[in-house]
């Protein structure tokens, strides 16, 4: 219905919100578990974002659009002293992720199920150590490129919430989006590309778990690029 439509700015960054109907267990988990982990943007952000967690985190990472959640869960279990915030507006993906949180006991995760720009604007300045944007929607048609999440305005948001020396990590198998990201980050004064040789951008991030998006790209004959940009 028209009353349920997003704003034009929000619709620019992601498409549909829901796929096939959730199974009963998925729906129950979403209803009962998501409120326990969801970041509440209706209240002011705490000065120390680590206070959202039940421990004192050594680092805080944000993953935007975690999809099936394979990477987020892997990193959370691999780095229990790091706090993770995952953003995913797609209901089916969020239901899958909260189920994995319950199964694995990865309690160093907090979640947000709406527009990532809302969370970025809510977060305190210099509160994050790393932002991951992995296999985002490439919006492949030229007329839709303005919908890509990497943009001047969103890089401004990243620069505000990242600590000096913090990282923005980007992965994609779409050449035009990789080039787009290199151009936008190269033109932004707050970021510098960390690659030192030609092989760096083809080498997965340390400890990288293969995701279903990456597997699909390989099956279809596409190579992935892994870009890391440092916040100056």
Residues designated as active site: 137
Q: How far apart are CA 103 and CA 207, in angstroms?
A: 22
Cα–Cα distance for residue pair 211/189, rounded to 1 Å: 31
Alpha carbon 44 to chain centroid distance?
22
CA–CA distance, 145 with 178 (Å, rounded to integer):
12
Say if CB 184 and CB 190 are below 8 A apart: no
Q: In Å, what is the CA distance from 211 to each residue of 45, 65, 67, 150, 171?
A: 32, 13, 10, 21, 11
């Amino acid at each position: 219905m028209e009353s349920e439509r997003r704003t034009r700015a929000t619709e620019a960054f992601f498409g549909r919100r829901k796929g096939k109907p959730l199974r009963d267990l998925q729906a129950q988990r979403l209803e009962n578990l998501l409120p326990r982990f969801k970041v509440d943007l209706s209240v002011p952000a705490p000065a120390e974002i680590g206070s959202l967690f039940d421990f004192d985190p050594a680092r805080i990472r944000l993953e935007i659009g975690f999809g099936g959640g394979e990477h987020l869960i892997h990193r959370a279990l691999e780095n229990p002293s790091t706090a993770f915030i995952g953003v995913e507006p797609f209901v089916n993906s969020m239901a899958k992720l909260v189920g994995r949180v319950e199964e694995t006991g990865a309690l160093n995760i907090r979640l947000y199920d709406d527009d990532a720009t809302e969370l970025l604007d809510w977060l305190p300045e210099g509160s994050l150590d790393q932002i991951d944007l992995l296999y985002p929607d490439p919006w492949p048609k030229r007329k839709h490129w303005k919908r890509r999440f990497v943009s001047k305005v969103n890089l401004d948001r990243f620069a505000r919430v990242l600590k000096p020396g913090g990282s923005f990590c980007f992965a994609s198998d779409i050449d035009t989006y990789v080039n787009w990201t290199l151009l936008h980050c190269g033109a932004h004064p707050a970021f510098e590309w960390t690659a030192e040789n030609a092989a760096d951008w083809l080498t997965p991030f340390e400890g990288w778990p293969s995701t279903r998006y990456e597997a699909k790209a390989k099956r279809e004959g596409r190579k992935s690029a892994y870009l890391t940009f440092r916040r100056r």
